Amino acid sequence: MRHHLRNATRWSYFFALCIIVLLLTAWLVQREAQVRLVLPDNTDSITINVATGSTFNGLVNQLIEQDYLEPSGMLRKAWIKSRPDTADIKAGYYAITPDLTLHTLLKRLQRGDVVRHNITLVEGQPLWQWLAQMEKTQNITLDVSFDPNSFEYTDTNGVIWQEGYVLPETYQYLHLATASSILRQAQLKQAEQLSELLTQYTLPTQLTNQHEWITLASIVEKETGVAAERTHIAGVFLHRLSKSMRLQTDPTVIYGIGPDFNGDITRADLRRATPFNTYVINGLPPSAIAAPSQAALLAVLTPLATNDLYFVAKGNGEHYFSETLQQHNQAVRQYQLKR
């Protein structure tokens, strides 16, 4: 009888020991989920690419090879195998930070919390400046190029992008998104805005189509230094168009020179025959010269009724408006030549 009791006791101790070992092993396995990634000193974040078809185990091995993670053992392999949901990870670019654990990384991959960026495309700038801004971010794939000879923007798919048909605004994009995908967002936003404005207002009689509206709005955008003057400037240009007068506006000259413009307009520049030089050509240039804001577009639709045909910068952002050339020349002497 005592022999049987001793055996039973031994078996109880044995089972208890097995349970303790199993619990300890399970705890050690789960502890692997809290292993933190290691980044180089003074590095706040790195970006990794999880390709389509990648596995979590393969990603862990990649992080080990890049020294972002301590080498794994049987316990980590056991933890990964204990998680059937490791197969449910989404492709994309992900941010890795020093405080990130394997468990948090897995959850991030499952949710698809990929790296996103914001870019603000400023009103009054031509597309070539936007493209230069995109290139500087180093997280946008530049697939749109500008030809300064033809003034055409073309992407790698052969799509031609028109100046002025993009809405200046802040846009969100995925890491290494293409420039064309961002411009597509801006183009759709612009189309919505144009449609909404045209449901409320009609084009001035001096303009025959939407393209001319966008073109004139871009000129108003570039000429306006003080917001309150937008409708007045629009009124002057429309009045000149109604009298078949050349617009004679410097921003069109600058656009016609292109990215090589050095900041100073010369008399030779004013005489240079480009498709955009409104000192040389009649009417509007062939396209917009910048991205017009909603305010500039609205100003062309709601211009100030004015007899003014001229304006000159006063040096403080404002303009002096005149009805006659004699008045204008006097204003030029006063504000530009300081006579």
Domain of 80 in residue numbering reads as 29-111
224 in the same domain as 168: no
53 in the same domain as 78: yes
Among the candidates 77, 111, 145, a domain finishes at 111
125 in the same domain as 96: no
Contact yes or no for 148/258 (Cβ under 8 A): yes
**pLDDT tens, the chain, 339 aa long:** 555 555 556 556 555 555 554 444 444 444 555 677 888 877 888 899 999 888 888 888 888 888 888 876 665 665 567 666 767 889 999 998 888 888 888 888 989 999 999 999 999 999 999 999 999 999 999 999 999 989 999 999 999 999 999 999 999 999 999 999 999 999 999 999 999 999 999 999 999 999 999 999 999 999 999 999 999 999 999 999 999 999 999 999 999 999 989 889 999 999 999 999 999 999 999 999 999 999 999 999 999 999 999 999 998 889 999 999 999 999 989 988 765
105 in the same domain as 144: no
In a domain, 2, yes or no: no
In a domain, 278, yes or no: yes
223 in the same domain as 321: yes
CA distance 289 to 292: 9
328 in the same domain as 207: yes
Total tally of structural domains belonging to the chain: 3
Give the closest residue to 326 by CA, choosing from 302, 307, 310, 314.
310
In a domain, 19, yes or no: no
pLDDT digits (tens, 9 = 90+) for 202-222: 999 999 999 999 999 999 999
CA distance 323 to 311: 9
In a domain, 217, yes or no: yes
- Report pTM: 0.84
CA distance 140 to 116: 11
Among the candidates 56, 87, 111, a domain finishes at 111
In a domain, 174, yes or no: yes
Residue 138 region by backbone torsions, left for phi larger than 0, else alpha for psi between -120 and 50, else beta: left
331 in the same domain as 209: yes
In a domain, 8, yes or no: no
Among the candidates 157, 192, 227, a domain finishes at 192
CA distance 295 to 131: 23
In a domain, 247, yes or no: yes
Give the closest residue to 300 by CA, choosing from 186, 188, 224.
224
In a domain, 214, yes or no: yes
